[in-house]
Amino acid sequence: MSQTFLVQFITNFQSPPLHPEEMKLISSKEILKNKLFAVTDEVAVDPDGFEIHRQIVRHSGSAVMMPVDDKNRVLLVQQYRLPAKQKMWELPAGRLDPGESPLKAARRELQEETGYKAKNWVKLASFYASPGYVAEKMNLFLALDLTAGQQQLMDDERIELRWFGRKELGDLIRTGKIIDGKTIVGYFLWLDWLKNSPRDTR
């Protein structure tokens, strides 16, 4: 599958509408809850009697920020990811607070994790990273026209920052050195956005 086809497919694909009558939730029980997410045990059935039983991670959703400067460099953060058992370079991201819009969360999280503020924001996509059992919708934004400031990290966060050029970032993705899904999605959607942007794309 070519890179151009992949980007066009992600950008243009529209999933068919889902009708509520296709699956009916018949039971839902919360089995775990913490400050970040809840886990529910759920059963749903369709009109033909086909039944699905899943344990689902319920999440309020997240904002993903792709900070790009006037040299077309991308700012990534590095932190230790315990589930992956390694440090990872990735786009900054954070959970939506109750009642918070994705864009408001993006503005807040960008400043907290990187210290930067962005004057202009572009929505690239919303997607589910692992819809088989995680109900977390990720909302991806380009953050442009940046102003530097001070990080506001939480007590359990230790985050390093580094700028990556477009070619370097692409090479790291293609050679498997960057393996974070939202960063890979963001990179290719950004390339597609650059083709149609009136901005300087040097």
Parallel, antiparallel, or unpaired: how do β-strands 117-128 and 38-45 relate? unpaired
pTM exceeds 0.75, yes or no: yes
Tokens representing 94? 């954070």
pLDDT digits (tens, 9 = 90+) for 108-156: 999 999 999 999 999 999 999 999 999 999 999 999 999 999 887 767 7
Domain with CATH 3.90.79.10 in the chain: 61-129+138-196
Contact 133, 57 (CB under 8 A): yes
| pLDDT value at 25 more than 50 | yes
Between CA 120 and CA 102 the distance in angstroms is 15
| Architecture category of domain 61-129+138-196 in CATH | Alpha-Beta Complex (3.90)
Read off the pLDDT band of 12 (50, 70, 90).
Answer: low
Q: What is the four-CA torsion angle of 42, 45, 50, 56, rounded to 10 degrees? A: -20
> What confidence score (pLDDT) does residue 152 get?
77
